[in-house]
Amino acid sequence: HNSNGELEDSVVHSSQEYPENHLLDSVPIADDFNNTSIMFADISSFTHWASEHSPIQVFTLLESLFYEFDCIANKMGVYKLSTVGDCYIASAGVPYPQKDHAIVITEFAECCRQKANELFIELSPKLKTRNLGIRIGIHSGPVTAGVLRGDKARFDIFGGAQILG
């Protein structure tokens, strides 16, 4: 299957093939996915920690953590949907259908938990991250997914599994 970047590139490319006025008049492209699992992971105690650290330290922590999660996602066939602040959102079963989506996302979540805890210890001498933890929620169920058009077209999900975010 395609990597996250290839999917986004193909989505942006295909949406750019249509004349702008056609995009405004046409029905957006969306698909229903009945068997999906969505993972939400955020850093416990992050708000307090961030209030005591510089913006570059906050960036360093988030960039390091999300890079590691991205590497795990790519190895496991999990799709990174987005990040919002310190929350990382990923899916199995959308945009690529997977029968074992719940198992895949659960294994991904466990790998992310282990990596986050290792990283908090590793970064602690410089960033004092030892007291941080990772909080993970998983929901399985149907979603509708499609491309939100515009200057920065992107793939997104809507529905019951997404509401927990």
Inside any domain, residue 71: yes
Q: What is the mean pLDDT of residues 7-35?
A: 56
**How would you class 51 by CB atoms within 10 Å of its CB: exposed for 0-12, middle for 13-18, buried for 19 or more?**
exposed
Q: What is the mean pLDDT of residues 108-122?
A: 98
Q: Identify the helix (H) or strand (E) that includes residue 24.
A: helix 20-25
User: Domain span at residue 85?
Assistant: 4-20+32-158
What CATH number does residue 126 fall under?
3.30.70.1230
| pLDDT tens sequence across 49-66 | 999 999 999 999 999 999
**What value does the mean pLDDT of the chain take?**
84
Of the candidates 32, 37, 34, the one whose C-alpha atom is nearest the C-alpha of residue 142 is: 34
In eight-state DSSP terms, residue 152 is T
Q: What is the mean pLDDT of residues 128-142?
A: 95
Inside any domain, residue 26: no
Inside any domain, residue 138: yes
Structural domains of the chain, count:
1
Inside any domain, residue 94: yes
Q: What is the mean pLDDT of residues 149-159?
A: 80
What pLDDT shows up at residue 26? 61
Inside any domain, residue 39: yes
Inside any domain, residue 27: no
| pLDDT tens sequence across 76-85 | 999 999 999 9
Inside any domain, residue 15: yes
